[in-house]
Structure 1
Amino acid sequence: MDRWAVFLDIDGTLVGHDRVPVPSAVEAVRATRRQGHLVFVCTGRSASRIPAELLDIGFDGVVSSGGGFAELDGEIVVEHTMPPERTRRLVATFERRGLPFTLQSYDGVYASPGVHERVLENTVRRILAEHPGTPRADALAAAAAHPQVRGAVHRGSPPDEGVASAVYLTDDPDDTARMRAELGDAFHLVTGTVPGYGPDCGEVHPIGLDKGTTIRELLDRLGIPRERSIGIGDGRNDIGMFAACGIGVAMGNAPLDVREAADEVTTSIDEDGVRHALERHGLTGQPG
């Protein structure tokens, strides 16, 4: 049997707005692994921010921080971090612009002043939308106890070592334009990839690093040819993954430019898109 490698985004692909893994995707992942194929999480999140209940689905490895790190069977096998001077330049730009930001390393996330307030308010809005009629005071208390909110508390000074990527929060598209003008010689910015925070927030990576960079290294290490790899995702940070894999599949809920960059488009997350994509290519052992 020819073994394949499958790379799956999290938000909007494996996990919906309710932050719960889609049952059909969970079973498709497990069925694919039972067939002897390898399945990897491939996310812009820091490894430390991937919920245990998601990893408990069962994966062969994780690509995290948008390609900054890769784990295989629990061991870090790929690591791409910024030189300290580049991290300091990035931090100085965020601070000069007054933008709340996070810095992602393998085992943690640094949150600047202002991030906690944004994350708290966003979580309150989500709770009120999901549970109409909830008193705001109750929503605020529930939000304050949420792990994502607790993890956004500002502590200490920004690190300059071990950082692979950054995320910034803004409602102003001009902020991204200005940062691209200032940082475009050394970094690339990808917007619309922070679930629930609007189209203008985004990720920052060193030029030459994206999910696809690390996927290529993993495939070489595994001895799996590109044509036996498939990447499934819904965000602009998945376009590099599509380019690296033999088959790039966009979720039906992906933006138009992401769908146009893919080789195929599956159904949306609410219509079992991951399961349909894996079945179509005969990876689950079930007819597609």
Structure 2
Amino acid sequence: MTGSSPRTVFLDVDGTYADHGTVPPAHAAAVRAARRAGHRVLLCTGRPVSMLTDHLLDAGFDGVVASAGAYVRLDGAVAEDVRFPADLAAGVLALLDAHDVAYLLETPDAVYGPVGTDVRLLRRGAAAPPEIADVLRMPGDLSGVSFAKVSYFDSPVPLDVMRAQLGSRIGVLPSSYADTGTGSGEIHLAEITKAVGIEIVMRHLSSPLSDVVAVGDGHNDLEMLQCAGTGVAVEGAPPGLLAEADLVVPGPAGGGVAQAFERLGLLG
């Protein structure tokens, strides 16, 4: 499977480009080589940009789709920054607090949690990304925080029940992190997906979605593989994601991104 025309590649981060924040050297090298060959490469992640460390960005990227499509930055300029409307934000916080769910409100500048969130994260050990500690804020009153997405954990409420209680304007997905357990998930605006962010980028570039290569491994990657001209899934991804894939590659430990770039003819 090869191709020499310029493509725009969107890479999920956790479980795809990186493993618990660690980027394999082969993945960074593949990104640099693809960009030298004239292709654009962007990260497309559920993380907010506040949790994208210098190490994750070190290979150099043409932009970022963050917060699972709510935030888009292309060539250094912010093209989209969608936040929860005030009424929906208040409803989400009220439900989470009523059930004593631990949560992080994700923004481009920081992540915010109730007082004691740091202790609850510490109890989880390696399951919590270390990048959170540097950007976590716990001001006490969260009512004024304007957020794009919520990550939650330690929930006594099953995901389906959470989804039903929040209503149709809000989406709830299992966590992007494979080791966070059944009491974890992500809350987002129902109309916002990674595909929305990709479409914004491609409109700015005046390029068709057929030129898109999307690589991912999680539940929040489904729409981006569906909209892409070429979809790449990581081994062990959810069945629905694997069904959408044109190509399946190993995870970060097996250098899957580098393999995908080579098989798709992106390395020059």
**What's the TM-score once normalised by structure 1's chain length?**
0.85
Contact 1:4-1:38 at 8 Å conserved across structures: yes
Contact 1:247-1:263 at 8 Å conserved across structures: yes
**Is structure 2 residue 2 aligned with structure 1 residue 3?**
no
In structure 2, relative to structure 1, the CA distance for the partners of 1:27 and 1:199 (3 Å cut) is farther
SS at match of 1:177: helix
**Is structure 2 residue 188 aligned with structure 1 residue 201?**
no
Which one of 223, 230, 246 corresponds to residue 247 of structure 1? 230
Contact 2:107-2:147 at 8 Å conserved across structures: yes
In structure 2, relative to structure 1, the CA distance for the partners of 1:186 and 1:226 (3 Å cut) is same
Contact 2:113-2:138 at 8 Å conserved across structures: yes
Q: Which moved more, 1:7-16 or 1:189-198?
A: 189-198
Distance 1:195 1:252 in 2: 13
* 1:89 counterpart residue number: 91
Distance 1:58 1:258 in 2: 27
Letter in 1 for 2:40: L
Letter in 1 for 2:57: L
Q: Higher relative contact order at CA 8 Å, sep ≥6: structure 1 or structure 2? A: 2
Q: Where in structure 2 are the equivalents of 1:37-48 lying within 5 Å?
A: 37-48=39-50
**Is structure 2 residue 78 aligned with structure 1 residue 76?**
yes
- How far off is 1:105 after superposition? 1.5
Which one of 21, 24, 44 corresponds to residue 26 of structure 2? 24
RMSD: 2.1
SS at match of 1:70: strand
Q: Where in structure 2 are the equivalents of 1:218-229 lying within 5 Å?
A: 218-229=201-212
SS at match of 2:9: strand
* 1:131 counterpart residue number: none
**Is structure 2 residue 190 aligned with structure 1 residue 190?**
no
Which one of 15, 38, 53 corresponds to residue 12 of structure 1? 15
Contact 1:85-1:160 at 8 Å conserved across structures: no
In structure 2, relative to structure 1, the CA distance for the partners of 1:31 and 1:159 (3 Å cut) is farther
**Is structure 2 residue 194 aligned with structure 1 residue 214?**
no
SS at match of 1:232: strand
Letter in 2 for 1:2: S
Which one of 262, 268, 272 corresponds to residue 245 of structure 2? 262
Give CA-to-partner distance per residue, 1:112-169, whole Å, 9 cap, x none: 234212321223x579xxxxxxxxxxxxxxx9xx553354452232144531111111
SS at match of 1:257: helix
SS at match of 2:158: helix
Give CA-to-partner distance per residue, 1:217-264, whole Å, 9 cap, x none: 111111111111011011111112112211111111423333223332
User: Taking every aligned residue pair, what percent have the same amino acid on both sides?
Assistant: 32
Letter in 1 for 2:29: E
Which one of 11, 34, 37 corresponds to residue 35 of structure 1? 37
Which one of 163, 182, 189 corresponds to residue 147 of structure 2? 163
Distance 1:276 1:81 in 2: 36
Distance 1:159 1:219 in 2: 35
Stretches of structure 1 lacking an aligned partner (at least 5 in a row): 128-142
Contact 2:103-2:114 at 8 Å conserved across structures: yes
SS at match of 1:162: coil
* 2:69 counterpart residue number: 67
Distance 1:200 1:8 in 2: 26
Letter in 2 for 1:63: V
* 1:277 counterpart residue number: 260
* 1:130 counterpart residue number: none
